[in-house]
Amino acid sequence: MRLATWNVNSIRSRLDRVAAWLDRQDIDVLAMQETKCRDDQFPFERFEELGYEVAHLGINQWNGVAIASRVGLEDVELGFPNQPGFDKDAGESLISTPIVESRALGATCGGVRVWSLYVPNGRALADPHYAYKLEWLETLRANAANWLTEDPQAKIALVGDWNIAPTDDDVWSPAFFEGKTHTSQPERDAFDAIVDTGFADVMRPFAPGPGVYTYWDYTQLRFPRKEGMRIDFVLASPALAAATTDAGVDREERKGKGASDHAPVVAEFDIPLEPS
């Protein structure tokens, strides 16, 4: 199975690029984030023409997550259990409704439970959105731990834009990010807590060391200057991680006119694809 995750930064703006990339890269499952459209605006037909079934969760022009699969798409779940919400007008108070923002979507594809995740940004360390981010991650951690307790052999992939650079090797300048989100210790601890439940960052063994990034800001010539961050991940359960044969970033997709500010992350697994 070739599984990819990509923050496309508006699927309607990048549709031709995404479709061409899927055709070139022979992808079985693609998880997308920041689709930036409602469900009725998503271009399902184009993906169907390419042989993919698609599940999408989009409430408005912000956020949005999707999963496109050519190996089956079953048991679609809109958000994970007890997923916290956020009210931008509520100050420091959070809303405990199951889904307020379209940030998590699960589906079983070829026997693998795939979660497309768009972790809240956090904005600033003193912003209520930062507290929301940490609560969101803790709730995800609790669910991830429960899933593995229920079935230690489950093949689960937690993939997407995590908005966290878990180590200093994952940013172009630790000093630049000091006192900002994405690299703060509580965020890194939250990421590590999910890893500690048993999920593995499958790309790191194939791309060690600094300088391997998945995101480059559009401003300040960050991409040509190689000033990026590694904030997009494929975290795999033990049974799935053990089957990893390759993983990496397709940096070429950050190049050229109309590119997303993120590049796709692709992981390959030597597993038999279960019939849908």
Chain segment 44-84, per-residue pLDDT in tens: 999 999 999 999 999 988 899 999 999 999 999 999 999 99
Q: Would the annotation count 146 as a binding residue? A: no
Q: Would the annotation count 163 as a binding residue? A: yes
The confidence score (pLDDT) of residue 60 equals 86
CA distance 33 to 47: 16
- Say if residue 96's pLDDT is above 80: no
- Encoding tokens for residue 71? 């190996």
The confidence score (pLDDT) of residue 63 equals 95
Q: Is 117 helix (H, G, I), strand (E, B) or coil?
A: strand
Q: What is the mean pLDDT of residues 101-107?
A: 96
Active-site residue identified among 118, 132, 213, 215: 118
- Say if residue 274's pLDDT is above 70: no
0.85 exceeded by pTM: yes
- Encoding tokens for residue 160? 């997407």
Q: Which amino acid is at 151?
A: D
- Encoding tokens for residue 98? 């199951």
CA distance 30 to 125: 32
Active-site residue identified among 56, 130, 161, 232: 161
For the stretch 178-202, pLDDT in tens is 999 999 999 999 999 999 999 999 9
- Say if residue 98's pLDDT is above 80: no
For 183-244, give the DSSP string: SSHHHHHHHHHHHHTT-EESSGGGS-SS---SB--SSTTTTTTT--B--EEEEE-HHHHTTE
Domain made up of 2-269: CATH architecture: 4-Layer Sandwich (3.60)
- Asked if 215 is an active-site residue, the reply is no
- Say if residue 99's pLDDT is above 50: no
For the stretch 152-165, pLDDT in tens is 999 999 999 999 99
Query: What residue spans define the domains of the chain?
Result: 2-269
Tell me the pLDDT band of 134, cut-offs 50, 70 and 90: very high
Q: What is the mean pLDDT of residues 6-13?
A: 98
- Encoding tokens for residue 89? 């007008």
- Asked if 270 is an active-site residue, the reply is no
- Asked if 130 is an active-site residue, the reply is no
Tell me the pLDDT band of 100, cut-offs 50, 70 and 90: low
The confidence score (pLDDT) of residue 129 equals 92
Q: Would the annotation count 161 as a binding residue? A: yes
The confidence score (pLDDT) of residue 90 equals 53
The percent of residues in the chain predicted with pLDDT above 90, rounded, is: 89
The sign of the torsion formed by the CA atoms of 52, 57, 59, 64 equals negative
Which carries the bigger pLDDT value, residue 96 or residue 42? 42
